Amino acid sequence: MSEHVPLSTLTTLRLGGPAEYLVECTSTDVLVEVIRLLDEQKVPVLLLAGGSNLVIGDDGFDGVVVRIATSEITVTESVVRAEAGAVWDAVVEAAVTAGVGGLECLSGIPGSAGATPVQNVGAYGVEVGSLLRRVRLLDRRTGETGWVEPAALGLGYRTSILKHSDHAVVLEIELDVRADGMSAPLGYRELSVALGAEQGERRPTAQVRDHVLGLRRGKGMVLDPADHDTWSAGSFFTNPVVPDERLGGVLEAIASRVGPDVRIPQYPADGGTKLSAAWLIERAGFAKGFPGPEAPASLSTKHTLALTNRGDATTADLLALARQIRDRVEDVFGVRLHPEPVTVGCEI
């Protein structure tokens, strides 16, 4: 057990105050026993793996941080199995190297395998929820472990019942994959264009992975310690879903701002119509790199949906920028943006 560990060293934003204590668990059995013991003693616990979808307050965490450092990955012709602490991109790379398909569009996403069903991680037309076979959970209320089917997780757009509750801990995941070494049918226009392919076409997994990584690097979405644009939590806001009864008014407000002939990106979604958060942020007056190179926290210079630490920011700096963007978009368009990362010891 370590004491007074700066949590900024364990998050991709490189923000967060100290942890009173930190325990690193490299086996699932040890992880389960540590959590059970701490829960029995009613000790405050923060579970942390890749730290890629986490905003921790400047005061840190007054309790025990349990670092999930389990890392085993196994690949067969039909199933990929990964422990919760395995680096997610290592899982994708292992699948591609083994010649199985399905995960390649999720290349380059930072974080751990265990976090993917919690957030229902998705990119380039593919969501983890569409690939999940089952998830092994520790129920902290009973201390029992067991496998559950995806239907029990309440998976939705960048969410699940696991995201807003601490009742269960992901221990392992299993994902269905294709044995033929070909990608899933391409469903995202930007990726299809980059590949010179038609939407719905399938391509070799290694080829798709290379292009996904290239697209993500161009947006500062592949971790690089030397690139402050990657000192982020990825996409900070989810794309808003506007209910049908509000859509007309919202579209009218947008058109009055950008002009009636400008195409507004919009997509069918459960509960209404999904709009592009990045597009709204830009049309509300926030350019890449806002508010400028001297700011401690700014929008990425490559992508307006990422809020970044330019090297010496505090969590308070980042949250002030997030509030400014959220409030301006709501004032201009009547659409409230919601953060994608989980917050600990702070509020947006």
Question: What residue type is 65 in one-letter code?
Answer: V
- Return the pLDDT at 293: 94
pLDDT of residue 251: 96
Asked whether the predicted pLDDT for residue 45 surpasses 90, the reply is yes
Measured between alpha carbons, how far is 215 from 246 in angstroms, rounded to an integer?
34
State yes or no: pLDDT of 23 exceeds 90: yes
Q: What is the mean pLDDT of residues 160-174?
A: 94
Beta pairing class for 241-242 and 45-48:
unpaired
pLDDT at 175: 98
Residue-wise pLDDT for 328-341, tens only, equals 999 999 999 999 99
Is residue 277 classed as helix, strand or coil in its secondary structure?
Answer: helix
Q: What digits encode the pLDDT tens for the residues 58-100?
A: 999 999 999 999 999 999 999 999 999 999 999 999 999 999 9
Average pLDDT, the chain: 96
Q: The whole model's pTM is what?
A: 0.91
Mean pLDDT of 102-112: 96
The pLDDT, as a whole number, for residue 88 is 98
Mode of pairing for the β-strands spanning 61-68 and 45-48:
parallel
pLDDT mean over 47-51: 96
Q: Residue 164 — very low, low, confident or very high, per pLDDT cuts 50/70/90?
A: confident
Write down the pLDDT at residue 174.
Answer: 98
Residues known to be catalytic: 158, 235, 340
Predicted local confidence at residue 1, as pLDDT: 81
% of residues, the chain, pLDDT over 70: 100
Task: List % helix, strand, coil for the chain (3-state, nearest 5).
Answer: 30, 25, 40
Which residues, at least 6 apart from 34, have a Cβ–Cβ distance to it below 8 Å? Answer: 23, 25, 66
* pLDDT score for 315: 98
Amino acid at 192: S
Instruction: List the one residue out of 200, 204, 207 whose CA is nearest residue 185.
Output: 200
CA 322/CA 315 separation, integer angstroms: 10
Q: What is the pLDDT of residues 291-322, one digit of tens each?
A: 999 999 999 999 999 999 999 999 999 999 99
For residue 117, give both structure tokens. 């069903």
- Residue 114: closest CA among 72, 164, 176, 177: 72
